[in-house]
Structure 1
Amino acid sequence: MTKKVDKVQLVDLLSNETTTTGSLHITPSHIIFRSDDGSREIWISTGLIGVIERGSISANGCALTIRCKHFRVISLLVPRDKTCQDLYETLRKIGEVVNVKDLPAFDIRNPQTNSGGWNRLEFSIEFSRQGVSSEWQETDINQNYAICDTYPNRLWVPTNATKNILEGSSKFRSRGRLPVLTFFYKPSSAALCRCAQPLAGFSARCVEDEKLMELIGQANSTNNNICLVDTRPLMNSFVNKVQGKGYEDVRNYNNMQFKSFDIENIHVMRNSQQKLLDACSSGRTITEYLKGIESSGWLKHLKAIVECSLFIAQSLHKGISCVVHCSDGWDRTAQTVAIAQILLDPFFRTIHGLQVLIEKDWLAFGHKFDDRCGHVGALNDEAPKEISPVFTQFLDCVYQVMTQQPRAFQYNERYLIVIHEHVYSCQYGTFLGNCESDRKDLSLSKRTNSLWTELDTRQDDFLNPFYEPFAFNEILDLDTRSSNFSVWSSLYNRFDLAAHPRENMYDSLMNSMEHVGVLESHIAAMRMKIAELRGLSASMIDSGLSSTEGVDDKLVLESPSSKESVAESELELVDDHLGRRVIRWQRLNEVYNCSSKRCMAEFSSNVERKIHCHNCGKIFCRRCVDMTSDESERICLDCAKRNQ
């Protein structure tokens, strides 16, 4: 299905005036707006369609607003009421996917030749890297997802835990999610385990579960104490007791202390984010903005998540093993254990390490990406209630940590924003499905592309120039006072260019470093050429003419004019080499579109990196530049063609 509507007007949301007239193209995978003069082209994956709003008709046309899941808002004026209604119904139908197999990821037009992204996590390799002690072992008790269909196929448990203990604990935990290892902190031999709430009610207990908790504590020979972290507000946990669930009675568990945190549920977080987005919308006064941010409670929620994560990290650092759960163990639990590992382990602060962490604690341990991101289930009345920005909050918390410790991370905020976009875009299979078993049933590794493989080709876009890899090997120190939490405007106001500096600090520094490197390489090449010319000149003076040449030729070569002509011809080669290099590069804040006349892609946000051609010094989008065959230079396609 392909649909085209002409004479559509794109409205500038800042000035609320019509700025561009063009055509709207709707395909199964993308919505495309293309201006009539070719100056603007906007592509939006259909997976990013959030809310479609149809306004009233006016003299200028009928208003249609597309609110996207990556926080872009497209406001259009459609010439006729009937055309607008048709567009509205078409876009709603595209955005309301019922079958996961209808998502764009399954329509692969360019299959990846390298499928390494699907093998990013191997539990045995990862736990070996962590240095897991002999007190822990791999078990196949969940083979074919026998005791828990939302857990990984292979689990790590205390060595002395028998099959009866594991099965008994699984039956006592919500969704069968028994306590299992997710991280081993080698410096103190403390373990971080995760699970779901117990089915305890007001009086129920489970001997097998109590024994498993005891074995988790005993797995650390230096400290048998264990801390049970319930991420939910205590009142919420108590309400769950009425439903036969709730929290552990520490009187039944040996050497256990209990700690509760006030991280709210998915419904509160969904409403909080909507209030945040309303506050960040254009046209508000400073007073309205600040009141909106405060009433949203978003920063308060981030603070609660980070404080809980810091407590877990500090406990492990002190040698106290922790078991963490919320209700079902796939939302708040995933957030806090993942942030705690980032605080403790420098590996998870690298580009590759963050991918492993997401694969482990979000994908393998069953965060429900389909439900939480609204990938599918639009015809189910309960589906909208399952949507919640849980993973967005996790990325926001990582960003908050990065702002306090900018030199501790290999990646920059662009990396987090790109991951966030593609969680929702559904162009890759990485974040489809609710758990590992879902992804196997869908054969995603064979039928879709991996986001990680794509990001591997763009690693230079995500590098942090301030990164010091060996300076932060201990637990990261954080200040969790409220004043240290701020709105992540690069994400929530990503497409509002007026809200950002004209030059991104990271990009400016990386650009300067790259430019210096190119100039130094150029200087080195010139020095080599000068040395060659000096050697040629000395050779001509010292040796005169070859013995095979005649006297007349010798006279010609020894004449001053002849020597000068030879030198001039060599210098012309140097000049030609210089002529293909521009010393001054275009400034980042002076360019708004790709310099390729065939492309002219708009840099609609700071996430789209502006890339310089090492040859002509102009700025291009990533699609219009490539590396030379020897990987030494990045040049635009036009210069590459001229140099052939």
Structure 2
Amino acid sequence: MEFYEFIKTANVEDVVLRQPLQPPSRGTLCVTGHHLLFSVREDGNARQVLLLLRNIDATEKSVENFSGYSSCGCVCRMTGSSGTITVKCKDLRVLQFDIPGMEQCLNIAHSIETLSCLSCVSEMYPFFYRPPHLSLQDKWGLSSTEEFYSQTKELHDRWRVSSVNRGYAACPSYPATVIVPKDVDDDMLMKVAKFRQGGRFPVVCYCHRKNGRVIVRSSQPLTGANRKRCQEDAFLLQAVIDGSDKGYIIDLRSSQQAQQARMTGGGFESKSCYTNWKRLHRQMERGKVLQESLVKLVEACSDESHNMDRWLSKLENSRWLSHVQTALSTAGLLAECVERDGRSALVHGSEGTDSTLLVSTLAQLIMDPRCRTLEGFLTLLEREWVQAGHPFQQRCAHSAHSHARFQQESPVFLLLLDCVWQLCRQFPLALDVSETLLLRLATEAYASDFGTFLCNNDQERCSLEVKEKTHCLFRALLRREEREWCSNPLFEPTELAIWPSVYPQSLQLWTGFFLRWTRETQHLVEAQQGIRKMRRSYHGQCHRLLFYKFLYDKKKHCSVLSFHRTLCKKKTTFHIIPMCW
């Protein structure tokens, strides 16, 4: 396919762009195979707005007179044939283009609608993106299963790396190699794969450094209405707990949902077959319910009525924060089983590709300090989401603005990033992750220059040669030029687990994402810049100690202003940091 076939009008002059946080500007709008390019030259200065077409969630067009610039420089009504295209992006930005000429407007709108919905992965922009500082010869990805196994010495006694999925014969959504008990051979694994939905048999994703207990994840067993059994599956789970007397199964469905799943061929682990496992049900919404929650929240954030009762009502009806609370509390339960009770745990829902990955990722962040470093966090995302088979292509096909009927879309990855943001807010020193990085990841998951979030699983990436023909986002984020804004300048490693509070008053709306295009969030960017200046400017340890005293001295309830005065008395140069507690 040639992109020019869908571009009837390549560029239009005298277009007025209206965008958040910026005054209206007039310039030239160009349409390419993958981008919208708006160029403006004012007062001798040229600037551009480049928008990836894949980032466009919906377009609205109307044919009418539009507002433009008069000769005196003010905005006025202009007559004649013209149109307006409103572009609603997956990152929640809304842009409006006032285009002179009705035919040009319709042509541009048609090109945007067609090119923003390309279904062929190999025609998407990551296959054409060639930045000068990256090479296709560079290693793709941060870590493999073999590297993770070699770095986790606690796994070496009882666990092994299996190549049973070489060629994706056992499970299309798993990587080629997985970590399983040494006592279970590959023939048994093939039988267990047939007993689990989608072939997602139990595999190890985490091993506790101190007690050696593991987190295992899978999909639901296919017991069906006849309550079928699989001796190999029961043997595998018994090998997971080895000599310990008990293990926990965290089923991310209600007991009623698990019972109903039997009617469609699914089911759960029965007590009679898995005698040493205790099953706990923690219902987590996913799929259409989660997508509708995001739509309602974005609608509430776009409401400009400035009515407090209306805003609070819409926020509550969206139930987004309830989903955040459920995810954090379930992850806390999983971490408690491993960290405090010293038991291994199996976590799964139905398919094991959504809520399962969400809970296992958050539990590892709670327990493991290695996952809370910048590189450790990105490696965790790669292992638990990219390699483990989260279907990004399906889940992130549309965001909150699309007029299309939602099919398999679900903002599970966005929910994860929101939960991580809550952890960063509650523990501002414990994670080497900046809000800027979380915002970047949220945008890249829906529309990216890189191939990391393309396709639905490792098998699809292999068949389309994604790793050979595109660049890896995580590799790019770890370059020296990117680390400064990706990392948390206040990061102080701790070996302790971080247990998040899930009380309603402890959770807040992620304004940096959901209200990122409003003027009220501009101070967040300024605060981040101030923090980074502070890190570069101070050298004495006394400044650090003073800052810690400010953070943790609850008896004096020191305010930002009084802290600033303290520093001024000591003739210390310091940047004030607005903290959220």
Greater per-residue helix proportion = 1
Among residues 29, 32, 44, which one is paired with 2:34 in the alignment? 29
* Contact 2:141/2:475, CA 8 A, preserved across alignment: no
Q: Cα distance 1:247–1:98, how it changes in 2: closer, same or farther (>3 A)?
A: same
Task: Establish whether residue 486 from structure 1 lines up as the match of residue 508 from structure 2.
Answer: yes
Q: Residue in 1 aligned with 2:240? A: 216
Structure 1: runs of 5 or more not aligned = 519-584, 590-644
Which letter does structure 1 place at the counterpart of 2:193? Answer: S
Task: Establish whether residue 459 from structure 1 lines up as the match of residue 483 from structure 2.
Answer: yes
Q: Residue in 1 aligned with 2:16? A: 9
Residues 581-602 of structure 1, C-alpha deviation per residue, up to 9 Å, x if partnerless? xxxx9x999xxxxxxxxxxxxx
Q: Residue in 2 aligned with 1:632? A: none
Structure 2: runs of 5 or more not aligned = 68-81, 541-572
- Give the Cα separation in 2 of the matches to 1:87 and 1:444: 30
- Give the Cα separation in 1 of the matches to 2:54 and 2:124: 7
Q: Cα distance 1:8–1:261, how it changes in 2: closer, same or farther (>3 A)?
A: same
SS at match of 1:408: coil
- Give the Cα separation in 2 of the matches to 1:446 and 1:502: 38
* Contact 1:127/1:183, CA 8 A, preserved across alignment: no
- Give the Cα separation in 2 of the matches to 1:301 and 1:211: 35
Q: Among the aligned pairs, what percent are the same residue?
A: 25
Which letter does structure 2 place at the counterpart of 1:199? Answer: L
Displacement of 1:62: 2.5
- Give the Cα separation in 2 of the matches to 1:498 and 1:56: 32
Displacement of 1:56: 5.1
Task: Establish whether residue 281 from structure 1 lines up as the match of residue 305 from structure 2.
Answer: no
SS at match of 1:386: coil
SS at match of 2:198: helix
SS at match of 1:157: strand
SS at match of 1:385: coil
Residues 35-82 of structure 1, C-alpha deviation per residue, up to 9 Å, x if partnerless? 342465321112211111223524544231111111111122222332
Task: Establish whether residue 296 from structure 1 lines up as the match of residue 303 from structure 2.
Answer: no
* Contact 1:490/1:500, CA 8 A, preserved across alignment: no
- Give the Cα separation in 2 of the matches to 1:28 and 1:181: 42
Q: Cα distance 1:278–1:164, how it changes in 2: closer, same or farther (>3 A)?
A: same
Which letter does structure 1 place at the counterpart of 2:484? Answer: D
Among residues 495, 498, 507, which one is paired with 2:529 in the alignment? 507
Q: Residue in 2 aligned with 1:45? A: 52
Task: Establish whether residue 128 from structure 1 lines up as the match of residue 150 from structure 2.
Answer: yes
* Contact 1:313/1:475, CA 8 A, preserved across alignment: no
Q: Residue in 2 aligned with 1:90? A: 111
* Contact 2:162/2:186, CA 8 A, preserved across alignment: no
Q: Residue in 2 aligned with 1:343? A: 366
Among residues 264, 270, 287, which one is paired with 1:243 in the alignment? 264
Q: Residue in 2 aligned with 1:198? A: 221
- Give the Cα separation in 1 of the matches to 2:195 and 2:174: 15
Count of matched residue pairs: 510
Q: Cα distance 1:588–1:440, how it changes in 2: closer, same or farther (>3 A)?
A: farther
- Give the Cα separation in 2 of the matches to 1:155 and 1:337: 16
* Contact 2:217/2:356, CA 8 A, preserved across alignment: yes
TM-score by length of 2: 0.83
Q: Cα distance 1:503–1:98, how it changes in 2: closer, same or farther (>3 A)?
A: closer
Residues 511-551 of structure 1, C-alpha deviation per residue, up to 9 Å, x if partnerless? 13324569xxxxxxxxxxxxxxxxxxxxxxxxxxxxxxxxx
SS at match of 1:407: coil
Which letter does structure 1 place at the counterpart of 2:490? Answer: F
* Contact 1:369/1:431, CA 8 A, preserved across alignment: yes
Map 1:321-400 onto structure 2 (within 5 A). Answer: 321-374=344-397, 384-400=406-422
TM-score by length of 1: 0.75
SS at match of 2:495: coil
Of residues 28-37 and 251-260 in structure 1, the stretch that sits farther from structure 2 once superposed is 28-37
Displacement of 1:345: 0.8
Residues 568-615 of structure 1, C-alpha deviation per residue, up to 9 Å, x if partnerless? xxxxxxxxxxxxxxxxx9x999xxxxxxxxxxxxxxxxxxxxxxxxxx
- Give the Cα separation in 1 of the matches to 2:322 and 2:433: 25
Among residues 497, 505, 518, which one is paired with 1:475 in the alignment? 497
Displacement of 1:14: 7.6
Displacement of 1:212: 1.2
Which letter does structure 1 place at the counterpart of 2:255? Answer: L
Q: Residue in 1 aligned with 2:464? A: 442
Considering only aligned residues, what root-mean-square deviation do their CA atoms show, in Å? 2.5
SS at match of 1:65: strand
Which letter does structure 2 place at the counterpart of 1:467? Answer: F
- Give the Cα separation in 2 of the matches to 1:418 and 1:493: 15
* Contact 2:224/2:263, CA 8 A, preserved across alignment: yes
* Contact 1:344/1:474, CA 8 A, preserved across alignment: yes
- Give the Cα separation in 2 of the matches to 1:453 and 1:208: 39
* Contact 1:114/1:453, CA 8 A, preserved across alignment: no
